[in-house]
Amino acid sequence: MDRVGKGVASGKIILMGEHAVVYGKPAIALPFTQASIETKVQKTNEKTLIECIYFSGPLEEAPVVISGIKNLINNTLNFLNEENFGLSISINSNLPAQRGLGSSAAVSVSIVRALFDVFNRDISDESLMELVGYAERIHHINPSGLDVNVIAAGQPVLFKRGTDPVPLKVAMDAVLVIADTGSMGQTREAVTNVSDLFQSNPDEIKSALEKLEELTLATLVHLENNDVENLGATMSMAQEILTKFKVSNEVLDLFIIESIKAGALGAKITGSGMGGCMIALCSDKQSADKVMSALDKAGAKAVWTLDMKDVTL
Ligand code: PMV
């Protein structure tokens, strides 16, 4: 029997530096291993078929909503010098889409990996970045590359636009709680909001971006020193700036307030904001349980935890 190509990718959480990363500032992101996307590709004798939550049928008839995926498949097959025929591609995900958890980059990474795998070809990091980076530029207006880099790396990274990601070791005595508001993050609008603010008030936004950079660099030190309290405080300081950027919203603000009331050491949005998810840092599992139930009560659609002691795939 022909081999089945498989490609898996997990999501991502931005711990610090979202939005500032678009302007060349550093950011820190972690793989979100609680949810992932798996693509399987089987060879057939029919035209290429695709099966995903948005559409099931011939790839050539795929609706606009998955045109990015269609392009990515075509580009990857071109890259591999393979024909777009005789493939059955199925995509399975438990990573909620458009919540700032990196689902668009994860779906792309899983597809490219699965296509390389079905043709028994090795993939270099460079080729993966090139193929997936192109797809991301279609989804977003001005992607920094952070999502793709952390998802492809599958480990915590310090990332600065235009440079290679620096792998980080995260081994902290803390638990991160992640809560989904259930509403879609608005990456385009949020990135545009910040850019409009930048145009209208460059000095103020420039200094806010510099402050975010300082907070990201402070986060590195706190991670290294296992300084959970100061990491929490740093997250809350970042949230104050992100609020001024108008990328938080009422529900995210409510979740942040409730998690702090329940004992979190700090909380902020993660990802573009204007919907999507927030994160709260807790000193241990007991504290995380309290924060989770407070977020549940506040109406979170889903709540996860990430043990910061062991953040690898
Ligand atoms: O699309 P999201 O929610 O994962 O946000 C990406 C992070 C931003 O910094 C807002 C944009 C970017 O390209 O880095």
- Provide the mean pLDDT of the chain: 94
Q: Is 13 in the pocket of ligand 1 (CB under 6 A)?
A: no
Distance CA 260, CA 256 (A): 6
pLDDT in tens, 201-242: 999 999 999 999 999 999 999 999 999 999 999 999 999 999
Question: Distance between CA 145 and CA 163 in Å, rounded?
Answer: 10
CB atoms within 10 A of CB 288: 25
Residue range 32-48: mean pLDDT, rounded: 95
C-alpha torsion 129→157→280→286, nearest 10: 120
- Give the pLDDT confidence score for residue 275 in this predicted structure: 95
pLDDT, tens digit, for every residue of 254-286?
999 999 999 999 999 999 999 999 999 999 999
Q: Specify the ligand 1 atom closest to the Cα of 18.
A: 9
Q: Beta strands of 160-260 (E only): which ranges?
A: 166-167, 175-180
Contact 45, 61 (CB under 8 A): no
Q: Given this model, what pLDDT does residue 1 score? A: 59
pLDDT of residue 67 exceeding 80: yes
Q: How many CB atoms lie within 10 A of CB 202?
A: 10
pLDDT in tens, 149-186: 999 999 999 999 989 999 999 999 999 999 999 998 78
Provide the strand spans (E) within 145-229: 157-159, 166-167, 175-180
Tell me the best of 25, 272, 277 to mutate to test the pocket of ligand 1, counting ligand atoms within 8 Å of each CB and taking the most: 272
